[in-house]
Structure 1
Amino acid sequence: MTGTIHSQELALKIKQSRRKKVLAWTVAGVLSAIYLVISLAPFIFMVMNSFKEKFEMLVGGVFALPKSLSFSNYSSVLQGNFLHYLLNSVMILVISLLILLFVSACASYPLSRFHFKMRAPIYSVIVACMCIPVHITLIPIFRMAKASHLYDSVWSLIGPYVAFGVPISVFILTSFMKEIPREIEESSEIDGCNKVQIFFKMILPLSKPGLATLAIYNGVNMWNEFSFAYTLTQSANSRTLPLAVWDFQGQYSMNTPMIMAVLTLSLLPMVIIFIIFQDKLVKGMTAGAVKG
């Protein structure tokens, strides 16, 4: 009799647990669907209206589907200076990211693996630089660009982008490298490797998830950066995509579908890169979470 009661209680608990799981998954699914709609709605709105004619939004409404897929907006944008702006952004992004990741990795390696007196103060100063507002440095950096004859060139943007990306990159990468087992480093030293060889052959390959995460994080910030690009460049030959959007907005202020086409083309490279490297981003984030 007692065994029957226990089995009934156990079956009841299992049913309640299943109901709770079903309810939890249902709530999670509903919240995820709501978040997905909120996230995709602006993107769908932008792409949908980019195919409309100039006055079609005023006549048919902003949320109405386009009467036909008109690519005239995209062809007009591409016939202008958009591709030149795109090339400038890509060049600045690639060079800045390569320098930033290399400098951050070189700084994070001794801060995470070596023991010396000034390690804590140096690390504290680097982390404290994260608190410096970008806008208070615009005038000094502008004067430096003028004095070094780099003003109004794409090279004037690489320095600030790298400098402001180093603190957060060193902060994250130092924590990531600390979790790499020291046995790997010790075994490499037994095999005759010096510190430089260990860094390039062991530490850097094992830090690829963290480097990929930093590349995507800093890459998005550099791609969308406006303040330095607006302050340090003037001519169309040196401007980047955010300024292209600014210029097109002023040029086609009454042609909203044209502006939507510019925004779509500006956003498309980052979407493609994220789709390609999203697995590395997730691995880097989960690795940091597990090790942290």
Structure 2
Amino acid sequence: MATETNRLHFPRIRIGVPLLGLIWLAVTTLPFIFVVVTSLKTQEETFSEPVWALPTHVYFGNYWAVLNGPYLTYFSNSVFVVGVSVLLIVLLSAMAAYVFARLRFRLNKLLFGLMIAGMIVPLHSTLVPIYLLTRNLGLYDTQFALIGPYVALSLPISIFILTEFMRQIPHELEEAAQLDGCGPFKIFWRIFFPLSTPGLATVAIYNGIALWNEFIFAYMLTSTPPHRTLPLAVWDFQGHYSSNIPAMLAVVTMTSLPLIAAYAFGQERLIKGMMAGSLKG
């Protein structure tokens, strides 16, 4: 009886899982399709036609208007700020994770707990101190004003991920390197850093996506277009009494494409890194 019951439920599972996948695909894809379709309309057509209506004529003027504005400046600023921040996050979190995962000293657990406690600090409680510190250091309204907060606020979760990952690397590799005369520094760079590539990729992609879309610090610590990042580009097409909605959605589309491309090429490493961190060797 149990076998017959399993045979009855198995086809339902095989049908239900793809169906749920299609529903989730629709939920996640339709908003992006709406953004792309609306960005190809004129502003008059946006208000005169139904929301989901296809454009009567494909209009690329919104994209030309975006490219003729300071969009490319915002884009280069985002690439620089996010690139430098992610590089520092990966290096610093990897070195700290190696210390917490492999080196034994008296304050190891205490310092690791304090570091992880940074994950529960509310973001908005840091706005005023970071703003005042940035002003006092003379970094306000520069690209470097964003790098410090981005790195500091991203380190706790990154260290947590990489520490759990490095704890699962076999001790035999470390012992063999010690017998060959390698110190902690060489062991880290020659063994742990290369073997942690899936975890490092996970940290890089996770933080890269989060920082690419970050708004509040970019808005608070920069004030002029030459130093602002992409999340603030939408404001160029928003006035006091009206907004150019198609142009704003063109900005959103062009801002999202790099993230979609990065995830398309890096999703396998991201998934492998997350799964590797959840398995014990």
Q: Percent identity?
A: 44
Q: 1:235 pairs with 224, 230, 233, which one? A: 224
> Partner letter of residue 210 of structure 1?
G
> Residues 104, 51 of structure 1: CA spacing in aligned structure 2 closer, same or farther, 3 A cutoff?
same
Whole-Å separation in 2 of the counterparts to 1:164 and 1:246: 25
Q: Is the 8 A contact 2:237 2:244 kept in 1?
A: no
Whether contact under 8 Å (2:202, 2:270) holds in the other structure is yes
Matches within 5 A, 1:73-112: 73-112=62-101
User: Partner amino acid for 2:163?
Assistant: T
Identify the match of residue 179 of structure 1 among 164, 168, 174: 168
SS at match of 1:151: coil
Query: Does 1:150 pair with 2:139?
Result: yes
Q: Does 2:115 match 1:126? A: yes
CA distance in 2, matches of 1:175, 1:251: 50
TM-score normalized with structure 1 length: 0.92
Q: Match for 1:196: what amino acid?
A: F
Report the counterpart of residue 249 of structure 1 in structure 2.
238
Alignment TM-score, normalising by the size of structure 2: 0.96
Q: Which runs of 5+ in 1 are unaligned?
A: 1-11
Deviations 1:42-83 (A, max 9, x none): 000000111111211222211011122221110110000001
Contact kept in structure 2, 1:213 and 1:284, CA below 8 Å: yes
Structure 2: which 5+ residue stretches go unaligned? none
Kindly name which structure, 1 or 2, has the bigger radius of gyration based on alpha carbons: 1
Contact 1:101 1:215 in 2 (8 A): yes
Q: Deviations over 1:184-239 (max 9, x none)?
A: 11111122222111100100011111111111111111111111111111111110
CA RMSD in angstroms, aligned pairs only: 1.6
Q: 1:252, 1:25 → 2: CA distance?
A: 53
Asked if 1 retains the 8 angstrom alpha-carbon contact of 2:158 and 2:203, the reply is yes
* Counterpart secondary structure, 1:290: coil
Distance in 1 (CA, whole Å) between partners of 2:4 and 2:39 is 52
Q: Which amino acid aligns with 2:172?
A: E
Deviates more, 1:184-193 or 1:248-257: 248-257
Does residue 102 of structure 2 align to residue 113 of structure 1? yes
Aligned counterparts of 1:250 and 1:104: Cα–Cα separation in 2? 42
Whether 1:160 aligns to 2:187 is no
